[in-house]
């Protein structure tokens, strides 16, 4: 069955049956980015470590807390994180050590997989693989303090968590349309791709999840940097010229 795990999720094998060679029951391992599929995964001994060579398979049921997207975002006294099943959970107000079981919100207008979480001005931006949703602090007295801004939902999902980058009111990410999106403020959303870059993004296939993006400000200009793992190429978007360039070492 689909396990819902992501790279870096902790895994403990507790079983009386046969385990893959080299695996010890009760030891914490971590899901590797290598060989990660919807219903299968490889593991590493340490978070971010190399895959362990194992033989055999092990069936079981994932009953623990679903993994999060690694984002921890602060807003209005709360800390928020997003689970892979599109549920946003939050801490108690002004208390990041307490996470009540009832403090959550399902962010699924269209369904999908949770990818990333960012704050944009007074809104929380929830990146799913199919859509992007926006939530505001409604000061709800039970459950999550957030409420959905339904009319703001954009059917332009996120294909890679690590492609999401923000700088001074702008957020960039690689979309599920094999393009790059730029959100300015909370209302202006545009695709900033070039035909050549779009073809390369399409050629990434499932490896598009490994795309890495970040923003730098240098020489009075802001640049969004995007690295593609399969193509082994890095591209730069000049926000002033509104043009893409390729960077070479």
Confidence at residue 61, expressed as pLDDT on a 0 to 100 scale: 44
Q: What are phi and psi of 200, to 5 degrees?
A: -70, -40
d(CA 73, CA 96): 11
Q: What is the mean pLDDT of the chain?
A: 85
Confidence at residue 65, expressed as pLDDT on a 0 to 100 scale: 55
Task: Say how many residues make up the chain.
Answer: 249
pLDDT digits (tens, 9 = 90+) for 197-236: 999 999 999 899 999 999 999 888 999 999 998 889 999 9
Asked which of 60-74, 163-177, 197-211 is least confident by mean pLDDT, the reply is 60-74
Phi and psi based region of residue 11 (left: phi greater than 0; alpha: psi -120 to 50; beta: remaining): beta
Which of 111, 144, 145 has its CA nearest to residue 128?
111
pLDDT digits (tens, 9 = 90+) for 24-48: 887 878 787 777 887 788 887 665 5
Q: Which helix (H) or strand (E) holds 195?
A: helix 195-204
Q: What is the mean predicted confidence (pLDDT) over 13-23?
A: 72
Which residue do the tokens 């993006």 mark? 213
Q: Which helix (H) or strand (E) holds 74?
A: strand 73-75
- DSSP character at residue 163: G
pTM to 2 decimal places: 0.72
């Amino acid at each position: 069955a689909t396990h819902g795990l992501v790279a870096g999720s902790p895994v403990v094998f507790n079983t009386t049956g046969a385990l893959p060679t080299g695996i010890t029951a009760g030891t914490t391992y971590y899901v590797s980015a290598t060989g990660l599929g919807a219903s299968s995964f490889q593991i590493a001994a340490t978070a971010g470590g190399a895959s362990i060579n194992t033989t055999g398979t092990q069936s079981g049921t994932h009953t623990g807390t679903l993994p999060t997207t690694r984002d921890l975002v602060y807003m209005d006294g709360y800390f928020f994180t997003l689970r892979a099943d599109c549920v946003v959970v939050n801490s108690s107000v002004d208390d990041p050590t307490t996470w009540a079981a009832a403090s959550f919100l399902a962010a699924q207008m269209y369904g999908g997989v949770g990818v990333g979480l960012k704050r944009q001005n007074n809104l929380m931006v929830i990146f799913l693989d199919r859509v992007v949703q926006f939530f505001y602090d409604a000061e709800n007295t039970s459950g999550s303090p957030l409420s959905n801004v339904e009319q703001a939902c954009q059917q332009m999902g996120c294909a890679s968590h690590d492609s999401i980058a923000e700088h001074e009111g702008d957020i960039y990410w690689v979309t599920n349309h094999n393009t790059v999106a730029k959100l300015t403020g909370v209302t202006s959303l545009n695709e900033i791709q070039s035909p050549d870059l779009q073809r390369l993004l399409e050629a990434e296939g499932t490896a598009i999840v490994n795309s890495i993006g970040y923003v730098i400000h240098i020489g009075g200009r802001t640049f969004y940097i995007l690295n593609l793992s399969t193509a082994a190429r890095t591209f730069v978007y000049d926000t002033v010229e509104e043009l893409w360039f390729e960077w070479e070492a």
